[in-house]
Each structure stands twice: as structure tokens, then as C-alpha cells.
Amino acid sequence: MAQEYRFLGVFMAAFALVVLLAVDVYGQDQNAFQVYTTVAFVIGALTSVFSGYVGMQIATFTNTRVAYIAQSSLDEAFKVAFRAGCVMGFSLTSLGLLVLTIIMAIYREMGIVPTADSIDKYSTMMEAVAGYGLGGSTVALFARVGGGIYTKAADVGADLCGKMEFDLPEDSPKNPATIADNVGDNVGDIAGMGADLFGSFAESTCAALVISASYMSKHGDGGCLYYPLIISAFGLLGSFVTTFAATNIMAVDQNEKIEKTLKWQLIISTVILTPLLYLAAVISLPEEFAVSAAKNTPMDAFFCTLVGLWGGLIIGAQTEYMTSFSYSPVLGLVESCKTGAATNIISGLALGYKSCIIPVAVLAVIIFVCFKLLTYLGIALGAIGMLSNLAISLAIDAYGPISDNAGGIAEMSELGEHVRARTDALDAAGNTTAAIGKGFAIGSAALVSLSLYGAFCTRVFGEDKISLQDKLVFSCLLIGAMLPYWFSAMTMQSVGTAAMDMVNEVRRQLGDEQIRNGQKDPDFKACIRISTTASLREMVGPGLLVILTPLLFGFLFGEKAVAGLLPGALISSVQLAISSSNSGGAWDNAKKFYEARKMKGTEEHKAAVVGDTVGDPLKDTSGPSLNILMKLMAILSLVFAKFFVNTGILKKWLD
């Protein structure tokens, strides 16, 4: 993490200079605006880094305690792991809300609002505040990609060689890649995930602030300006009440109750937040305002957040159905393992593709309803509504890696099979909840990206319509749709390259009979160096692809090229991210099905391990990174919108 942050520090300093020099906007004092945007960018980046650090501290502080308490009680072990997830969820969400509120308050006091009597008097300020989302998302991209490469290189290497070739148990202290694998769970699934979901919060809020600024300015400086922040604040309150159900009401005294308890957290929070979202709209917004019609009311805004909130629950429920071994899709994967790894992989890919149907249909309904009520502002509010219980989503997401590492500690500490059985049960439920969290992140990312795209088009084209029949727009639409596949190929190839190095190192060390017999400790640091070096080296290419593509297209071809690039990347990213995450989650739980029934080492289990190995880079590297791709490209294009208008050096030649 220290090496990753040093690298990111150099990169973010260089990119901050680009923001300072290239950002352009309508306004009276352009240079001051560039400074404001750059400062917000740096603060967003630092907040994202701190979010990852906080997550790591919480996870590593807790996983030993979960392993210890699992010796005596499954229920208490669950509560420790879940409460740690809650600490992380509430810390990161409240931190993001606090910092964004402070930035807005300071910018108002510093006079970034250009004219007191202008209808658009807050537009300039909110466009500068958008730099906060850009900074958070840029760090999140590198944290997700780098962390994903680190953890999957170690995980794949440990599984392919240690488990398949030498028949070592999961997290065996004889396996040289064990420590790197456990460290990777924290780097990728805690620090990377924390930075990712912080970025989702920052971008969705900034999107709503930018779009609503011109509409809400004429209603004064009251709650309407801070309405997106009030939604998140009420979400924290509702999520806080929800946690009492898991820790004080529901008892997890059987393995079957773990997943149900976590699932009920999402259901209860959704029910509690429904009236709170209504209250947030009523107390914040004027009785009438004009966005999509001559007369809009707070009920329009409430319905936008409501369909986002309940749509997220539907996506989460469908994700659980497709990835939990309690239901037929994963049980079908389990059955396919009986005929070998090939049929398991074929069935897993088909499962992932089919899992796109319901989430995409739900997103389409949300977009239609929100756009009809409040156009692009409605879509941004739908995204915030979907993320209003973000603290709970983070809690159940962080719970998984904490439980996973508790199992590793129990295995290496030789605490006994009954302890490992309990931690495995906790971990198996965590796999499903992690998949649910990824579903929320992907769905909200799609809505955020679309709302940011609307803000970009409004700022660049004004009331003019952009047509898909334009030759440049349609050409760049196809290129944009190709980018997620290029990006995924780069991340998966990176994992494959690093995993080959890891397998060779593990194979070399386990060739020593003393290490295999436990008479000599493996060289864990050698495997850690392989993962660290690979993650730092390989995260550069995918990161630069996402950042430089819209900048290059805008600089060369102008705003129309970017207007085609963004929706193309959005459309294919959603499908690819959902299918990748769900295929990987289903393969992982198919493997857990055999391990829970003490069938380790059987031919069926080995086939399931191969499927899980294929799915690892899909669900933990390329899949979750794609939602950052679509958000980052959109918010970067918004911040640099006027730069694209003022450059586009080949525009005249293309026309």
C-alpha cells in the first residue's frame, strides 16, 4: 500500500498540474476557477487514499478477533465481522459527506459564486466542486486495478499450484503464496473497494450538484442547494437504525442464517429509507420548481430517489439469486463440475450473460422514470437514491474479506477444523454479499455516468440536440463500446502474467521437501514481491487508457467525439461488468459448495477450483474496475468540457 500510494502521489501531482493548466469554464475569473477545481481534485484524491487506509486498518484490526471468537461462538464471530464492516461503511460515507460539505461551504465564503443576481450563480461553484469527484475516481481506478491484480495474482498462483498440484489446503502455511493471498484480500477487496464506493458517492453527489445548480439557484441558498447531501445524510441515519437488527435482534446460531441476516440488512434499510427520502425532499425543496416542466414538485424528486433505492434492491436480490449456492443457477454449476472444468466454465459464462437481463431492464426503467420526471437531474437523484444505504452496502461488502482472512488466520494458527468450518461459513455468505455490493456499484455507476453525460452535453451543446446520426458521434460511439473490452483484456492479461510468475515461484519452493513437510518455512516475501511489483507495473496501462482516451479524442476531434465516446463506453461497460462479476461470484460459490461438504480434493472440487480461478480476475479485477471506467471517463469529460470545445484541432478538417 505504501508503494502504491507513493506511485499515486507522483501521478496525482502531475495530473493536478494538467487540471490546473487545461480546465476552462464560463466565468469572470478563469484562473481562480482553475485553482478551485484543482484544489477540489487534490482533496478528493486525498480523501480516497485515506478511505483505503481506514479500510485496511479496520480489516486487519478485526480479522484476528474474528478468528479468535470463532473458537467459541459462530454468532459472536459474525457480529464482530459485521460490526467491523459497519465501522468501515459509516466512516467512509460520513467522511465523504463531511469533506464535500466543507468544500462547498468554503467555496461559497471565498466568493466563487460569480454574481448574486444570476440564475446560474451556483453553476460555476458546482463545476469546480466536480473536481472532488474526479480526484476520488482517479485514485479509485488505480486502487481497484492495482489491488485487483495484486490479490488475484496471489490467489490464482496459490490455487493452481498449491492446491491443485500439491494438494495443500486453503491458506496452508506450507504454501508460499498464502500470505500474499491474504494481504491481497485487504488490498483489493478492502482498500480498493473502499476507494471505489467512495468514488461512487462523490461522483453521484457531484453530478446532482452540477446539474441542479442552475435550476435551484433562483430558489435561494436554502436546503434545495444541499438536497443531494441531505439525501446521503438521511441515508446514514436510516442505515444506523438498520444495523441493530443484525447485532441485537437476529441471532446467527446456524450457518444457514448468515446469508439471510445480511440480506435482511438491505431489505430493512430500503424500507426505513423510503419515508426518510420523502422527508428529505419535502424539507429541502421548494413547493414548485422548473426542470423538465413548467411545474415540478418535491414529489418528482422523491420518486426519482425512490425508484433508484428500490431498483437497487431488485438488482441486489437478482445478484444473490445468481451467485448463491442456495439457488438453482449455482447448483447447476455444481452439477456441471461432475463432467469436468470445461463444462463448468461454459455454464459459468452462460450464467453471467443471462444475469445481465434483469439488472439492465431495471436500470432502463429507472432511467425512463427519472428522465421523464426531472431529465438528467432525475437520473442523478436516482443514483443517489440507489446509494442512500451505501453505509450498509459497504458494511456487508467489507464483512466478506474480513471473514475470509479470519479463515486464513485460523488455518495458519491451527485452531482446529471446527473453527475453520465456522469461518468458511462466514466467508461463503460474504462471497454472495460481495457480489450484491458489486451489483449496487455497477448499477449506480451506470446512472452516475449517464447523468454526468447529460451535464457534459448540456454544458457543451446547451439547448442544441446531439444526434447519433452525426458521422463523428456514431464512429466514436463504436470506439467507446470497444474500450471496456480493451481495458478488461489488459487487466486480465496482467493477472495472467503475474500469476505465471507466482506459480513458478510456488512450484520452485514446494519442490523443497522440507517446505512440503513443514520442516522449513517458505519464503513468503518472495511471493509478496511478485504481487507488489506486478500490481504497480501492470496498473499503469489500464489507468492511462481510461484517462488519456477522452482527453486525446477531445483534444484532436472536439466535443462531438467525446459525446459519442461516453455512451458507447457506458453501454458495453454495464453488460460486461455485470456478467464478469456474476460469473466470478457463481464460480467461487460453486467451489465453496464442495468445500462446505468436505469434498476437497475430489475431481468435482478440482473442476470447481479451475472455474473459480478463471472467475477470480473477472469478479475482482476487470468487473469492478469497469464501473470506475464509465464514471471516470464521464466526470473527466465534464471537468474538461470547455477544453475540448476550445481545442479539437482536427474538427474543421473532419467537417
pLDDT digits (tens, 9 = 90+) for 74-86: 999 999 999 999 9
**For the CA atoms of 77, 243, 137, 180, what is the dihedral angle to 10 degrees?**
0
Residues 6+ apart with CB under 8 A from 84: 58, 59, 61, 62, 66, 398, 399, 402
Beta pairing partners, 289: 296
pLDDT digits (tens, 9 = 90+) for 407-444: 889 988 888 888 988 998 888 787 777 777 778 888 88
The confidence score (pLDDT) of residue 113 equals 53
CB 476 within 8 A of CB 498: no
pLDDT digits (tens, 9 = 90+) for 34-49: 888 899 999 999 998 8
The confidence score (pLDDT) of residue 244 equals 87
For 465, which DSSP code? P
Mean pLDDT of the chain: 87
The confidence score (pLDDT) of residue 117 equals 46
pLDDT digits (tens, 9 = 90+) for 483-497: 999 999 999 988 888
Residue type, position 63, single letter: N
DSSP string across 296-353:
B-HHHHHHHHHHHHHHHHHHHHHHHHHH-TTSHHHHHHHHHGGG-HHHHHHHHHHHHH
pLDDT digits (tens, 9 = 90+) for 237-277: 999 999 988 888 888 878 888 888 888 898 999 999 999 99
Task: Quickly state the pLDDT bin for 499 (edges 50, 70, 90).
Answer: confident
Residue 285 corresponds to which cell in the numbers above?
Answer: 425543496
Place of cell 482516451: 549
DSSP string across 436-450:
HHHHHHHHHHHHHHH
The confidence score (pLDDT) of residue 25 equals 46
Residue 194 has pLDDT above 70, yes or no: yes
Residue 182 has pLDDT above 60, yes or no: yes
Q: Please tell me the distance from the alpha carbon of residue 593 to that of residue 263, in angstroms, as a whole number.
A: 19
How many Cα atoms sit within 13 Å of 263 on the Cβ side?
A: 19
Residue 90 has pLDDT above 90, yes or no: yes
Question: What percentage of the chain exceeds 90 in pLDDT?
Answer: 39
Residue spans per domain, the chain? 2-449+489-536+577-643
The confidence score (pLDDT) of residue 115 equals 47
Residue 516 has pLDDT above 90, yes or no: no
Residue 535 has pLDDT above 70, yes or no: yes
Q: Please tell me the distance from the alpha carbon of residue 384 to that of residue 207, in angstroms, as a whole number.
A: 10
Task: Quickly state the pLDDT bin for 605 (edges 50, 70, 90).
Answer: confident
Identify the CA nearest to 426 among candidates 596, 591, 612.
596
pLDDT digits (tens, 9 = 90+) for 550-603: 999 999 999 999 999 999 999 999 999 999 999 998 998 898 888 878 787 788
Mean pLDDT on 448-460: 87
The confidence score (pLDDT) of residue 112 equals 63
Question: Ranked by mean pLDDT, which of 456-460, 463-467, 484-488, 528-532 comes out on top?
Answer: 484-488
Residue 284 has pLDDT above 60, yes or no: yes
Mean pLDDT on 299-303: 95
Residues 6+ apart with CB under 8 A from 532: 3, 150
The confidence score (pLDDT) of residue 67 equals 93
Mean pLDDT on 347-364: 95
Mean pLDDT on 348-355: 95
For 638, which DSSP code? H
The confidence score (pLDDT) of residue 30 equals 52
Rounded to an integer, what is the distance from CA 589 to the centroid of its chain?
A: 21
Residue 116 has pLDDT above 50, yes or no: no
Residue 455 CA: distances (Å) to CA of 123, 241, 431, 489? 11, 35, 36, 30
Q: Which range among 105-114, 487-496, 638-647 shows the weakest confidence by mean pLDDT?
A: 105-114
CB 569 within 8 A of CB 479: no
Residue 644 corresponds to which cell in the numbers above?
Answer: 475540448
CB 131 within 8 A of CB 618: no
At 173, is the secondary structure helix, strand, or coil?
coil
